[in-house]
Amino acid sequence: MKITWFGHSAFRLDFAGKAVLIDPFLSGNPSFGSSRDVAVLGTNYVLLTHGHGDHVGDTVAIAEATGATVVANADLASWLGLQGVKKLEMMNTGGTIGLDGFSVSMVRADHSSGALADNASVYLGNANGLIVHAPGEPTVWHMGDTDIFSDMALIAEIHKPEIVIMPIGNRFTMGPETAALAVKRFLPGLTIIPCHYGSFPPLEPTADRFVDFVGDEASVHVLTSGEPKPFAKG
């Protein structure tokens, strides 16, 4: 599997001939370190953790250009259908769906989810984390936007992720020290990829403090935006 970070919480997973985008906030993302054409090339699926604009991002345009299937919670998926997205897979917290040779599980995240339309707030379901299971590949848990919660340990026990993509930026999610505590308490020994930092001034500017707080409790991989990195199972 190759994992590419596009800044903020946007990622691309390439495995078994599939190209999967998660939270593809590309346009307007100041830490997007690639070209949009390269980032979306061959996209088969777009997975969304929740409905905020810095996570839905370019989903509608990507789906139209590539014919990708969009996976989201039921409320967000219904709203995206009204925006013109044709191929949708609805799910919700606790569910798992089988796709083309892999599956996606939707798990808890502590955050909000919504959009502004006609000067009013539109509720777009609960925020979630997403777990991608593919045979022969490392299982990846993208936490979305969240605070720490003790059931992270239960999610890890059920789904057995090997790679955890974790927000560390503070203000809108847990910050570096709290995220490091989540690693130490609930996810020791796993591969951790920090995200949701360095993109906007209110957020933590770098992953340095997070790396320091984690210490040797886990293997932290700080990715460079736009550069794919290979990860093997086990």
Q: Which are the contacts of 86, defined by CB distance < 8 A and separation ≥ 6?
A: 63
What gap in Å lies between CA 13 and CA 4, rounded to an integer?
Answer: 7
Confidence of residue 189 (pLDDT cuts 50, 70, 90): very high
In this prediction, residue 53 carries a pLDDT of: 97
Please choose, from the candidates 223, 216, 163, the residue with its C-alpha nearest in 3D space to the C-alpha of residue 195: 223
Q: Are 228 and 13 in contact (CB under 8 A)?
A: no
Q: What is the mean pLDDT of residues 127-147?
A: 98
Note the pLDDT of residue 224: 98
Percent helix, strand and coil across the chain, each rounded to 5?
20, 30, 50
pLDDT (mean) for 193-209: 98
pLDDT above 90 for 124: yes
Residue 117 has a pLDDT of 87
pLDDT at 118: 87
pTM of the model: 0.98
Give the per-residue pLDDT at 81. 98
Query: 179: closest CA among 192, 198, 161, 160?
Result: 192
For 77, the enclosing helix (H) or strand (E) is helix 74-82
Distance CA 234, CA 223 (A): 19
